[in-house]
């Protein structure tokens, strides 16, 4: 008989975890809140030991093969672990799914294999953290319902498109995050820009474009009655949260609108404190609004 190794015992909800660079840097609050929430829900995340950068915009705008080889390296590790891969960052998720989509072509697969020096087998299932946590078979032990909180759910480009790659419910008007937050007691407002681009990495060469696009998003969310915007992407979060001061200077926007990771909102409802969830890390401080709603 073979002794079973308890440390590697695989539960029904055990995932390989690929945080990506952002969650180890500017989006630490996304990482921490994700880990807390998963712990609470009995989901085990095992971070891949030797994951590498997905390449993000830098790779796919300069070298097509590199943009596939980097995610392929991580995919190969996940394949060796044999567990489904959970990915919080929308960009990483998009790159991984795109790679899986493209290596269906045999010639591309051969190129990628020679680039990483390994033979890719059947890829593991890659899920965005949003899709994974929105699974309605997961019961949510809500201790502090988000009553009275009006949330504009924002998906950005990469969680919704291209539909055949990311597999979302509706690329133009998705409901995944809405359904999840409603289960936590929040109210999801209907608004028309939930999958419209925030400007993303264009912030570096052309901040004016990002200010224009992000401002349009925030002002419509505000006009539609939202108390905050919920996001599932570090890039979107950075643009929407970080530049509000510049937007006010440029467009004269009246009040600020907090931008919060959906996992932080989940954490609040599941009983974690704002401090634990690093809600004090945002540049647009959500705490006054949360206190007003008696959620913090």
Partner 1 sequence: MSRIGVFVCHCGTNIGGIVNVPEVVEAAKAMPLVAYADENKYTCSEVGQGSIRDAIREQKLDRVVVAACSPRMHENTFRKTVATAGLNPYLLEIANLREHCSWVHSDSKKATAKAIDHVRMAVAKVARHESLFPKQVGLTKRALVIGGGITGIQAALDIASAGHEVVLVEKEPSVGGRMSQLDKTFPTLDCSACILTPKMVDVAQHPNITLLSYSEVKEVRGFVGNFEVDILKKAKMVDHKTCTGCGTCWQKCPEKVTSEFDLGLGQRTAIYIPFAQAVPNKPVIDMENCRYQKYLKWTQTEEGKKPPECRICEKLCPTKSIAWEQQEEIVTEKFGALVVATGFKTFDHSVYGEYGAGRYPDVISSLQLERLMSAAGPTEGEVLRPSDNTHPKNIVFIQCVGSRDDKVGRPYCSKVCCMYTAKHAIMLKEHDPEVQCYVFYIDIRAGGKDFEEFARRAQDESGAVYLRGRVSQIYQDGKTLKVLGEDSLIGRPVEIDADLVVLATGMEASEDADRLAQTLHISYNIYNFLIEAHPKLRPVETQTDGVFVAGAAVGPRDIPDCVAHGSAAAAKVIGLLSQDSLTTDPLTAIVAPMKCVGCFACKAVCPFNAIEEQTTRDGRIIASVNESLCKGCGLCVVACRPGAINLRGFTNQQLLSEVMTLVRR
Residues of this chain that interact with partner 1 (CB under 8 A) are 170-173, 191-193, 196, 220, 223
CB of 155 to partner 1, least distance (A): 13
CB of 167 to partner 1, least distance (A): 15
Asked if residue 45 lies in contact with residue 15, where contact means CB atoms within 8 angstroms, the answer is: yes
Say how far apart CA 12 and CA 204 lie, in whole Å: 43
- Nearest residue to 258 via CA among 226, 232, 211, 294: 226
Structural Rg of the chain based on CA atoms: 19
105 phi and psi angles, rounded to 5 deg: -80, 125
Residue 262, CA distances (Å) to 1, 18, 85, 184 in order: 45, 18, 19, 11
Residue 162: cis peptide before it, omega within 30 degrees of 0: yes
Say how far apart CA 48 and CA 117 lie, in whole Å: 19
What DSSP designation does 293 have? T
Cβ-based nearer residue to partner 1, 120 or 229: 229
Cβ-based nearer residue to partner 1, 57 or 175: 175
Cβ-based nearer residue to partner 1, 200 or 296: 200
CB of 192 to partner 1, least distance (A): 3
Cβ-based nearer residue to partner 1, 165 or 171: 171
CB of 191 to partner 1, least distance (A): 8
116 phi and psi angles, rounded to 5 deg: -95, -5
Cβ-based nearer residue to partner 1, 121 or 192: 192
CB of 236 to partner 1, least distance (A): 17
Cβ-based nearer residue to partner 1, 104 or 223: 223
Cβ-based nearer residue to partner 1, 9 or 223: 223
How many whole angstroms from its chain centre is CA 220?
22
Query: Six-digit token pair at 12?
Result: 């029904």
Cβ-based nearer residue to partner 1, 47 or 170: 170
- Nearest residue to 165 via CA among 227, 228, 123, 220: 123
CB of 231 to partner 1, least distance (A): 18
Task: Give counts: helices (H), strands (E), the chain.
Answer: 14, 8
- Nearest residue to 266 via CA among 199, 196, 180, 188: 180
Say how far apart CA 285 and CA 97 lie, in whole Å: 34
Using the structure block, give the residue that is written with the tokens 């996940």: 78
CB of 200 to partner 1, least distance (A): 16
CB of 205 to partner 1, least distance (A): 18
């Amino acid at each position: 008989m073979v002794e079973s190794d308890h440390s590697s015992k695989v539960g029904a909800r055990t995932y390989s975890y690929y945080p990506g660079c952002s969650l180890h840097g500017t989006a630490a609050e996304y990482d921490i809140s994700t880990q807390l929430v998963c712990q609470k829900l009995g989901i085990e995340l095992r971070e891949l030991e030797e994951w590498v950068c997905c390449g993000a915009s830098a790779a796919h705008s300069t070298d097509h093969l590199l943009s596939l080889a980097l995610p392929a390296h991580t995919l190969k590790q996940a394949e060796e672990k044999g567990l489904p891969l959970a990915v919080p960052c929308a960009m990483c998720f998009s790159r991984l799914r795109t790679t899986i989509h493209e290596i269906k072509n045999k010639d591309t697969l051969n190129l990628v294999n020679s680039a990483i020096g390994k033979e890719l087998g059947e890829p593991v299932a890659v899920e965005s953290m949003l899709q994974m946590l929105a699974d309605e078979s997961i019961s949510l032990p809500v201790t502090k319902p988000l009553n009275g909180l009006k949330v504009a759910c924002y998906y950005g480009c990469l969680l919704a498109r291209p539909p055949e790659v990311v597999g979302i419910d509706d690329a133009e008007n998705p409901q995944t995050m809405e359904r999840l937050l409603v289960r936590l007691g929040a109210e999801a407002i209907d608004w028309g820009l939930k999958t419209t681009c925030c400007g993303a990495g264009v912030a570096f060469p052309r901040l004016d474009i990002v200010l224009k696009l992000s401002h349009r998003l925030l002002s419509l969310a505000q006009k539609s009655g939202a108390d905050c915007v919920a996001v599932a992407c570090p890039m979107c979060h950075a643009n929407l949260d970080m530049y509000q001061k510049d937007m006010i200077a440029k467009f004269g926007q009246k009040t600020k609108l907090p931008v919060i990771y959906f996992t932080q909102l989940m954490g609040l409802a599941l009983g974690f404190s704002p401090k634990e969830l690093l809600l004090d890390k945002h540049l647009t401080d959500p705490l006054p609004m949360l206190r007003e709603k008696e959620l913090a």
